[in-house]
Structure 1
Amino acid sequence: MNKRLALIDMGTNTFHLLVTEVSEQGQLQELFKTKVPVRLGQGGISNGAITPEASDRALKTLRDFRKTIDELGADTVRAMATSMVRNASNGDAFVKDIFKQTDIRVEVIDGAREAELIYYGVRAAGVLGEETALIMDIGGGSVEFILCNQNEIFWKQSFELGAQRLMDMFFTQDPIPAESVAAEKAYLEEKLQPLTEAVAKYKPTVLVGSSGTFDTLCDIDAQSKGDTSRTTAPPVASTLAVKAFRTVHQDLLRKNHEERLAIPGMLEMRVDMIVLASIAADFVLQKYNLQEIRVSSYALKEGMLQEMLAAQ
């Protein structure tokens, strides 16, 4: 009998819902997919609590998700919460509230588990080969780095350096001044010391960006060349030339909020955070001398799906 699964990824910036049908033969059919800019970390991430406003936005979104899940008749619902909830002083109360209002049981996962699930998702997108890759997943609260190939994970770590946290620290003027860019890079240099040591050991040659920011960078690059195909059929796997990335990156640094919003391919929900995320991606490319960028639109929720299918 066919089974319907609903997967929810409660990120610090964005909540994702994926509802998929699995046939007896294990074939997948996507029934519904959406992302909502809940901004769970807004106003509270730097002092470690979910604000009442953010909690209200989250609960409203999850009630909407529940309605969709029930309408589509999903048998199993899995919800995962990441950086903001795991670090919030009121995270437990928030999770209890969700269950009370929506009957959705939320699993709060640690950074290592988050990185592992991202790896399964990225691997399913078909962007990994035999060579060593560095996966980078930039969330609002944390950034996961995974050194791996298609067969195994060599090293993984989650750092609480997400775009919302970086924004609170370095985004004091818009357009962002050169000294703020330098300050963010110096901060990353210091905080990513464990990654720098792991890169020296495993020597990755390719950067694999996982969803979010990287999808938007690809969209902007494609539209700047008159290619609008991604708007109707976003590919699971893409490549982004390093030179093309640098062009988009420099443009993001020069522009203010309104100007960035006018860039074809830009999403309103990413318009400010993408500046800080792009600086982080640029730092990683330069620091570790990576010559190629691949992009997977699959991430945590697809990884969760892969793990559930493997367990059946």
Structure 2
Amino acid sequence: MRKAVIDLGTNTFHLLISEQEGEQISEVSKIQIAVKLGEGGIEFGRIAPPAFERGQKALEEFRKVLNQFPCEEVHIIATSAIRSAENGKDFIREAEERSGFKITCISGMEEAEWIAKGVFHSLPTMSHPYIIMDIGGGSVEFILCEGKNIIHKQSLDIGAARLLARFKPSDPILASELGLLKSYLEENLSGLMHQAQDAGVTTLVGSAGSFESILELVSDLPGYESKSIGPACFIIPMDAFDQVYKQLLASTKAEREQMKGLADYRVEMMVVSAVLVDTVIKMARIDKVYCSLYSLKEGVLFG
């Protein structure tokens, strides 16, 4: 069966078309368009007119692709930027009129559920508690798990686009700005991280996105090779993450644009995303980090 999922993210719209046979999926087409839906409006609770139009045009492009690859099922999921914007319903209404799509706007808790379902399919059986983390532009989802069971899930509006809009860091980020950012994150994450510690969590599983970029940057370090632990899950060594983290903190936007493996649409937000990861590692006393290549899209595909 051929299925398509469109994930309307805050920074990027993703289209994934796959052939599915039972628990196996094979990619037919995968497209990302950097719409930056939160640019110029996320801090005011609106989708700004230029971003609004970028999003609409991206969906028109996706419609053309889907006309080339007809699917038996098409799922279009709207997340943080659209659900929290006062004109989010207007965006959905216009998108349905212009592109003919039926769009479902999900809550942060539903988003966490779909992310977990996707990540579960990438992992081996885990014998100890762990936490899944998905960094979006608008929100960050956390799912505490035992095996393939969810203990607790939470969605926080501390996504990378919101952090950039709130703190407007220099290029490169200054030590004083880093301190303010980390203090803000520690305040917002305190309760959840204590809960993770109480559950005995020492493993972090990052869901695609920024974690894929970190994995690519780690793989480019001398002496490091990607090692998998599951069908679509790879180890990010702690010492290698530390190297990449320091490299990102010291980098300018122009330097990040030249980094091998760092996608153009992640260049701007990669520093705050790395700070998010480092903060979680330190607060939860994480000693193992994995990167799952699966996320919400695969969760929807597997149902």
TM-score (norm 1): 0.92
**Cα distance in 2 for residues equivalent to 1:228 and 1:72:** 35
> Which residue identity is paired with 1:192?
L
1:82-140 deviations in whole A, cap 9, x for unaligned?
10000000001110001001111111100100001000010011255121111111000
- Is this contact kept in 1: 2:9–2:79, CA < 8 A? yes
Aligned residue type for 2:255: E
Find out whether 1:39 has 2:36 as its counterpart: yes
Q: Are 1:120 and 2:120 an aligned pair?
A: no
Greater mean alpha carbon deviation, residues 260-269 or residues 293-302? 260-269
Between the aligned partners of 1:293 and 1:195, the Cα distance in structure 2 is 18
Match of 2:73 in 1: 76
Cα deviation, residue 190, structure 1: 1.0
Q: CA deviation at 1:270?
A: 1.0
Q: What secondary structure does 1:224 align onto?
A: coil
Structure 1 residues 14 and 201, CA gap change in structure 2 (3 angstroms): same
**2:272 counterpart of 1:299:** no
Residue number in structure 1 paired with 2:19: 21
Aligned to 2:272: 276
Root-mean-square deviation over aligned CA pairs: 1.8
Contact 1:6 1:76 in 2 (8 A): yes
Matched, 1:140 2:137: yes
Which residue in 1 is equivalent to 2:54? 57
Q: Deviations over 1:149-179 (max 9, x none)?
A: 3320001100000000111122331110011
Structure 1 counterpart of 2:243, which letter? Answer: T
1:287 to 2:283 alignment: yes
**Post-superposition offset of 1:36:** 1.5
Partner in structure 1 of residue 237 of structure 2 = 241
Corresponding residue to 2:217 among 217, 220, 225: 220
CA distance in 1, matches of 2:195, 2:88: 32
8 Å Cα contact 1:147/1:154 also seen in 2 = yes
Q: In 2, Cα distance between the equivalents of 1:227 and 1:294?
A: 15
Partners of 1:134 and 1:127 lie apart in 2 by 15
Runs of 4+ in 1 over 4 A off after TM superposition: 226-230
CA contact (8 A) 1:5 1:19 kept: yes
Are the aligned partners of 2:14 and 2:31 in contact in 1 as well (CA < 8 Å)? Answer: yes
Alpha-carbon deviation of 1:26?
6.0
Is the Cα–Cα contact under 8 Å of residues 127 and 294 in structure 1 kept in the other structure? no
CA deviation after TM superposition for structure 1 residue 236, in Å: 2.4
Q: Report the number of matched residues.
A: 300
Gaps of 5+ in 2: none
Q: Which amino acid is the alignment partner of residue 38 of structure 2?
A: G
- Please give the per-residue CA displacement for 1:49-93, whole angstroms capped at 9, x wherever unaligned: 011111111111111111111211112211001100000000011
**Separation (CA, whole Å) in 2 of partners of 1:219 and 1:249:** 13
- Tell me the CA shift for residue 229 of structure 1: 8.5
| 1:176 to 1:127, Cα distance in 2 relative to 1, 3 A | farther
Matches within 5 A, 1:171-210: 171-210=168-207
Cα deviation code 1:168-204 (max 9, x no counterpart): 1223311100111111111111111331232133121
Could you tell me whether the CA contact under 8 Å between 2:193 and 2:280 is conserved in 1?
Answer: no
> Quick check: 1:100 aligned with 2:88?
no
Rounded Cα–Cα distance in structure 2 between residues aligned with 1:63 and 1:257: 30
Letter in 2 for 1:253: L
Report the 3-state secondary structure (helix = DSSP H, G, I; strand = E; otherwise coil) of the residue aligned with 1:305. Answer: helix
> Residues 6 and 182 of structure 1: is their aligned pair in 2 closer, same or farther, counting only changes over 3 Å?
same
Change (3 A) 1:252 1:57: same
Equivalent AA in structure 2 for residue 162 of structure 1: G
Shift of 1:225: 2.6
Secondary structure of 1:125's partner?
coil
> Over residues 239-261 of structure 1, what are the superposed CA-to-partner deviations in whole Å (9 max), with x where a residue is unaligned?
10111011011011111111121
